[in-house]
A and B are shown apart, each in its own frame.
Chain A
Amino acid sequence: MTAVIEARNLSRWYGNVLGISEVTLDIEPGITALLGPNGAGKSTFMKIVTGQLKPNIGQVRIFGQKVWNNREIFWRLGFCPEVDSFYEGLNGLEFLTGLLVLYGFSPAEVQERAWRALELVELKEVARRPIKSYSRGMRQRIKIAQALAHDPEVLILDEPLNGLDPLSKRKVIRLIKELKNAGKTIVVSSHVLPEVEAMTSEIVLIHQGKILARGDLHFIRELLDQHPHMIRIKSPHYRELARKLAAEDYVLSITFEPENSAVTFETHQRDWFFERLNQLVLESDCRIEEITSPDDNLQAVFDYLVGK
């Protein structure tokens, strides 16, 4: 697939403080999540990609075009900034129509697009209420609405789930997934791992301005062979399974959960482990109710990579 966003050796400093360092990244259509703690460099990367900042070194291109001072690219790009700020005194509809006017759409089209965007983010009913009276979730959604009202191909969403209640989060996640299904390229940033997991498995881990890892969550997990994988098996025969697998040298530890009839194995050879498990199930009478990987989530991957 052709990369929509191409970043090459991007570095940016704020005086003596490092924003990002030598970031090289290709982003393709679909949802890509930038994941990292606060101050990792996610927002700096997004600001460079959206032409708010210039890199000290390197370059970024969207659809093959440079971004800084290139107004043509903003027809194809929508940006939802992290900050919770709006123009004084405007209501939701005025905010959207005002920003759509800046594209030069006709008045009728401005209205049509604004209402369509309000419908997408489920704010039609409160469109004429001042933004200052909106809840945090509504404000977040009106920010997303302004980013997608002109129907861009690329959406850059900086911490779109920040500060939202669970219901609003679900709404925003559903919206982002719908936009992905509509063929858009979406980059979201977050420092909350379960939120990212709910949106995508395509992640870029950023820490201290550098990219630690990039790819499918499970693929990244596979790269971490030096770290044990955890596999939890729930079975009425969990003790027998544990006894048989304990003999294998790639099983590093076994933890029992008698109250749940489950056992958790640690292994650094997941493929071999599952091969042997299949054999055991076929050879013996062991019935398995559930197999899960408790550490196969972003938090575990992130902790491993940053050496926690």
Chain B
Amino acid sequence: MMKEIIRVFSFYFYQARKTSRTKTFFWLSTAAILMALLIRTYRIAGNWTESGQVIFQNFLMTFFLQFLIVLMALFYGTAIVSEELENRTMPYLTSRPLARPAIILGKFLAYFCLSSLMLLFSVFISYLILNLDSKFSFSSIWTVLSYFLVLLLGLAAYLSFFNFLGVWLKKPVLVGLAFGFGWESIIQYFPGTTQKLSIAHYLKSLLPRYTTSSGKLGFLFIRLEPTRPWLAVLVLSGVVAVFLLLSCALFSYKEYLYEE
């Protein structure tokens, strides 16, 4: 089945680059660079005294972690099945010698890699812009790499969850929006174990050099009661595995009808 996954991956990685969705997300991730430039200018004017690392961390948390990866995962994840139904291209795919789980996993990987590349570009450039005055060292590279790995883990977790919604529901985007920007945001402010019912909680627990209340946006994460890093990684990996398995099982069994 690995070969089949790679075949699906190669077709969709190529095809998805040409879609309007990818073009939109490319410009949206590029917007992060513009925002970083604006923040940098604001800071040079003396309005922001925190270090570049702290500002970047806040920026990462608010723009990338709580907005961009959720939005990317929502539109790519739900599209894995629903775009085939909406564009009526499903028969081209399901009449090929491919195991149905390979279709899901291949498309998941293609969209994950595509989103990751867009993130990689904007995260590293934003980091550089916000830390231009810092001395660069291996530890700086490690820091930004750690941030990026957390984002990738979050992207994979959200993507697999939204993929499951797409396989399961006829109109998954609305439910996905409610989850990604409703549940995931609100539950962060709940104390105790309730906040552990969100993906964002485990991602925030993993952020390196995390400070709970520093920075102008510190009030956003003041309630965080972090989970231990190894457990957070385990939970997030579990989310990816469970929702991918569920998606594969459901897609293998389910029929998809569309209006003719």
Contacts and interface: CB of A to CB of B under 8 A. Distances in A.
A51 B93 CA distance: 11
B97 interface: yes
Interface in A49-89: 50-54, 69, 71-75, 77-79, 81-83, 85-89
A74 B19 contact: no
A98 B11 contact: yes
Contacts of B91: 47, 50, 52, 79, 81, 83
A60 B92 CA distance: 20
**From B4, B96, B257, residue with most partner A Cβ within 10 Å:** B96
Interface secondary structure of B, over-half rule: helix
Nearest to A143: B92
A43 B257 CA distance: 12
B96 A72 contact: no
Interface residues of B, number: 29
A157 to B, nearest CB: 12
Contact of A43 (B89, B100, B252, B260): B260
A85 B93 CA distance: 13
Interface residues on A, range: 20 to 34
Given A99-B11, A99-B92, A146-B92, A71 B98 contact: yes
Nearest to A73: B97
A89 B19 contact: yes
B97 A71 contact: yes
B15 A74 contact: no
B218 to A, nearest CB: 43
Contacts of B252: 69
Interface in B3-18: 3-4, 7-8, 10-11, 14-15, 18
B255 interface: yes
Contact of A87 (B87, B97, B100, B257): B87
Contacts of B260: 43, 82-83
Contacts of A166: none
Contacts of A146: 92
Nearest to B103: A102
**From A47, A79, A83, residue with most partner B Cβ within 10 Å:** A83
Chain A to chain B: the 8 pairs with minimum beta-carbon distance, closest first: A89-B18, A85-B88, A81-B91, A79-B95, A74-B97, A83-B88, A71-B97, A102-B96
Given A71-B96, A101-B11, 12 more contacts: A51-B94, A51-B95, A71-B99, A85-B87, A86-B87, A88-B18, A88-B87, A90-B18, A94-B14, A102-B98, A104-B3, A104-B4
